[in-house]
């Protein structure tokens, strides 16, 4: 009996590779996001993935770009909901921290920077900058850029060292999230 393999369009093939890369990132960290590992997961050859991404660094850069677009869209929606009073500021903080921690964005960013692939961060930084500019429109009374800076840096630091640092200081694991939430609440501008 022969196995019939469904032929994917180039767009579907890229999407499948990026999803496999995302899964590998979450399961095993950024060092696991290789062309070989992604190819094995989706049944594609190394040459096929080279055609789509050019290199492992290209795959990682595209993964970072797609993750940043998804994450910034979700965070943007959460911020708007928080501004409408539909959700608590902690939910926004949790989304940012989860994106960098559980979803692997912090480890991927650190890996790319430390391995010398700094240019791959440009689409990520652009996506964040675009989101902040949108969120700042009509809210010039709030320091949106500064809030974003410290929230992203806190989430990145927490994703890399938060558990160990909280443990060493005898603090609960979510201490950084709680501090970020307090800071967000403190930056609210009272009505009137």
DSSP state of 44: -
Q: Is residue 2 part of a domain?
A: no
Q: How confident is the model at residue 2 (pLDDT cuts 50, 70, 90)?
A: very low
Q: Write out the two tokens for 172.
A: 């609960």
Burial zone of 107 (CB within 10 Å; 0-12 exposed, 13-18 middle, 19+ buried): buried
Q: Is residue 142 part of a domain?
A: yes
- Provide the residue range defining the domain that includes 37: 8-54
User: Are 16 and 111 found together in one domain?
Assistant: no
User: Are 93 and 148 found together in one domain?
Assistant: yes
User: Are 77 and 164 found together in one domain?
Assistant: yes
Phi–psi pair at 178, nearest 5 degrees: -65, -40
DSSP state of 160: I
User: Are 68 and 163 found together in one domain?
Assistant: yes
- Mean residue pLDDT of the chain comes to 89
Give the mean model confidence (pLDDT) for residues 118-126.
Answer: 86
CATH number at residue 32: 1.10.10
pLDDT at 141: 84
Give the mean model confidence (pLDDT) for residues 100-115.
Answer: 90
Q: Is the pLDDT of residue 32 over 50?
A: yes
Q: Is the pLDDT of residue 4 over 60?
A: no
User: Are 67 and 144 found together in one domain?
Assistant: yes
Domains in the chain, number: 2
Give the mean model confidence (pLDDT) for residues 80-102.
Answer: 94
pTM: 0.84
Per-residue pLDDT tens over the stretch 10-21: 788 899 999 999
User: Are 37 and 25 found together in one domain?
Assistant: yes
Q: Is residue 34 part of a domain?
A: yes
Q: Is residue 191 part of a domain?
A: no
User: Are 87 and 126 found together in one domain?
Assistant: yes
Per-residue pLDDT tens over the stretch 153-175: 999 999 999 999 999 999 999 99
Calpha distance 54→32 (Å, rounded)? 17
Burial 66-102 (b: 16+ CB within 10 A, else e): bbbbebbeebeebbeebbeeebebbebbbbbbbbbbe
């Amino acid at each position: 009996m022969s196995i019939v393999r469904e032929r994917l369009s180039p767009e579907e093939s890229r999407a499948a590779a990026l999803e496999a890369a995302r899964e590998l990132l979450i399961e095993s960290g950024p060092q696991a996001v290789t062309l070989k590992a992604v190819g094995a997961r989706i049944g594609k050859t190394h040459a096929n993935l080279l055609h789509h991404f050019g290199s492992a660094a290209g795959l990682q850069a595209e993964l970072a770009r797609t993750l940043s677009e998804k994450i910034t869209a979700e965070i943007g929606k959460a911020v708007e909901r928080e501004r409408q009073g539909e959700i608590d500021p902690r939910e926004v903080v949790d989304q940012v921290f989860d994106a960098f921690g559980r979803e692997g964005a912090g480890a991927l960013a650190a890996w790319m920077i430390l391995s010398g692939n700094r240019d791959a961060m440009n689409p990520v930084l652009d996506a964040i900058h675009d989101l902040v500019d949108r969120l700042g429109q009509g809210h010039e009374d709030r320091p949106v850029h500064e809030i974003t800076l410290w929230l992203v840096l806190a989430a990145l630091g927490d994703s890399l060292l938060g558990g160990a640092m909280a443990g060493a200081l005898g603090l609960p694991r979510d201490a950084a999230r709680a501090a970020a939430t307090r800071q967000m609440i403190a930056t609210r501008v009272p009505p009137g």
